[in-house]
Amino acid sequence: HVYVPPAIPDIRERTLIAVKPDGVQRRLVGQIMQRFEQRGFKLVGLKMLQVSDDLLSQHYCELRTKPFYPRLLHYMTSGPVVAMVWEGHKVVQTSRTMVGHTNPAEAQAGTVRGDFSFHVSRNVVHASDSLEGAQREIQLWFQRKELLNWDCCDQTITCEV
């Protein structure tokens, strides 16, 4: 008998994932990227950058009234960040699950934060939290020409396209 999988439409999305300065300093970039690759997502943008105050204030505009905001800006500009755009079926929701709870104390083992961090102020990685947020953040962090459209050779095997 040939197994015919149920039809699940390919809902292709893009999301911003950024390894924060503590993740870069701790040489976790490779391990974090590997998780997204092995899950089957497609890398369409990648760069290392020293983030500016201007970019961060736009990125974290919803948090500007929080008491921890000045320390958050200081932390995020304390060293280079590795920013990536990953593409795939429901990648926004799936990557939030892979990254884990904002507070590492509540993050499940097996998530990036649950495996590599213990304090909310040094939680290693950023992942967009909604489709709208992802679109806004990708435009903020990447120029259009920095994002590549390419075909994954396993696309017809890993999902129904």
Which residues fall in the annotated binding site? Answer: 20, 68, 96, 102, 113, 123
Sheet holding 81-89, edge to edge: 42-49, 81-89, 12-19, 125-127
Tokens found for residue 38: 């092995």
Shortest Cβ 8–ligand IDP spacing (Å)? 27
Active site residue 89: no
DSSP 108: P
Helix (H, G, I), strand (E, B) or coil at 130: coil
Residues contributing to the annotated binding site for ATP: 20, 68, 96, 102, 113, 123
Site string for ligand IDP, 102-131 (x = CB under 6 A): x-----------------xx-x--x--x--
CA 76 – CA 4 distance, rounded (Å) = 47
Helix (H, G, I), strand (E, B) or coil at 122: helix
Decide whether 68 or 118 has the Cβ nearer to ligand IDP: 68
Tokens found for residue 94: 């799936």
Decide whether 129 or 146 has the Cβ nearer to ligand IDP: 129
Site string for ligand IDP, 57-86 (x = CB under 6 A): ------x----x---x--------------
Q: Of these residues, 59, 89, 119, 126, which one is catalytic?
A: 126
Shortest Cβ 70–ligand IDP spacing (Å)? 11
Q: Report the DSSP beta bridge partners of residue 49.
A: 81
Residue nearest to ligand IDP (CB): 102
Displacement of CA 145 from its chain's centroid (Å): 19
Residues with a known catalytic role: 126
State the residues that interact with ligand IDP by CB under 6 A: 63, 68, 72, 102, 120-121, 123, 126, 129
